[in-house]
């Protein structure tokens, strides 16, 4: 199977068969196709088995790096409870099946969520409350996107110090400045079983760009799924199915089990 890098050169993204890898995975748009609602996605038994096998093959050096909360990740992938950074690194589970470091919802974000729900909910906009992160989804109401962005921009200065807005093609998220996937990757890479390994990160969105930059800084392999704009990722895969195939072929089937 051929893969294409972001410099438009046709090349096969092949990994050495004896690589000592650490694998970081975004979820929505990377492992799962986007849906009109975050709860409208489902995980197949085949994907659960693939993730279980990858984690075993990598000696535990696999972690989700997601905008979803760790609780939402667990619900989605149940009964698996893999290592994970949720809410862009505001929440963590550092050990498989371990305790979760949770992040709470501030009062000003709760109030803003209620205001956004009252204003945009009737139009079909979904307001997702994720602790300190407020996600406003317009996938089911694309005509509302401009108004949602404007309302978020107006609200931003009134929030607690240290908040930023991330605007995408299908919505807006308001989050603390420290909510960075790059920081989550760095934290995992400083601990066992990740330390000393070469990292790989698969993501699909603008919120993954800081993660790609971190991976590049660490000399790893950055891969963006279905890129629609400029990206720091050095490689890309065409869609979710291609991501599954690449993980299976290049990591699971090719690479030998870890020693010890």
Q: How far apart are alpha carbons 176 and 185 in whole angstroms?
A: 17
Token pair listed for 40: 């409208």
Helix H, strand E, coil C: the string for 57-68 is: HCCCCEEEECCC
Tokens 């505001």, residue?
90
Task: Please say whether the beta carbons of 87 and 174 come within 8 A.
Answer: no
Q: Of these residues, 18, 26, 28, 205, which one is catalytic? A: 26
Q: Which ranges in the chain belong to alpha helices (H)?
A: 45-57, 70-77, 107-120, 145-155, 181-189, 209-217, 240-246
DSSP 253: I
Residue 26 is a catalytic residue: yes
CA distances from 34 to 24, 38, 91, 118, 166 (A): 19, 8, 22, 25, 18
Q: Catalytic site residues?
A: 26
């Amino acid at each position: 199977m051929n893969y294409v890098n972001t410099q438009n050169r046709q090349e096969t993204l092949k990994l050495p068969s004896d690589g000592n890898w650490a694998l970081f995975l975004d979820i929505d748009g990377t492992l799962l196709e986007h849906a009109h609602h975050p709860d409208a996605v489902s995980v197949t038994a085949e994907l659960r088995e693939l993730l279980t096998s990858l984690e075993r093959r990598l000696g535990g050096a696999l972690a989700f790096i997601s905008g979803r909360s760790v609780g939402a990740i667990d619900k989605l992938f149940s009964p698996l409870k893999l290592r994970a950074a949720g809410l862009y690194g505001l929440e963590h589970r550092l050990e498989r099946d371990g305790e979760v470091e949770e992040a709470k919802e501030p009062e000003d974000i709760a109030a803003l969520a209620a205001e956004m729900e009252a204003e945009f909910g009737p139009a079909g906009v979904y307001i997702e409350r994720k602790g300190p992160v407020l996600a406003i989804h317009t996938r089911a109401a694309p005509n509302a996107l401009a108004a949602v962005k404007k309302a978020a921009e107006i609200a931003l200065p009134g929030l607690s110090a240290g908040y930023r807005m991330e605007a995408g093609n299908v919505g807006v998220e308001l989050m603390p400045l420290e909510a960075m996937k790059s920081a989550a990757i760095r934290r995992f890479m400083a601990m066992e079983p990740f330390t000393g390994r070469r990292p790989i990160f698969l993501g699909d969105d603008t919120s993954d760009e800081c993660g790609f930059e971190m991976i590049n800084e660490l000399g790893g392999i950055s891969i963006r799924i279905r890129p629609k704009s400029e990206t720091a990722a050095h490689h890309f895969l065409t869609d979710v199915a291609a991501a599954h195939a690449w993980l299976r072929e290049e990591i699971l089937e090719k690479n030998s089990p870890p020693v010890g």
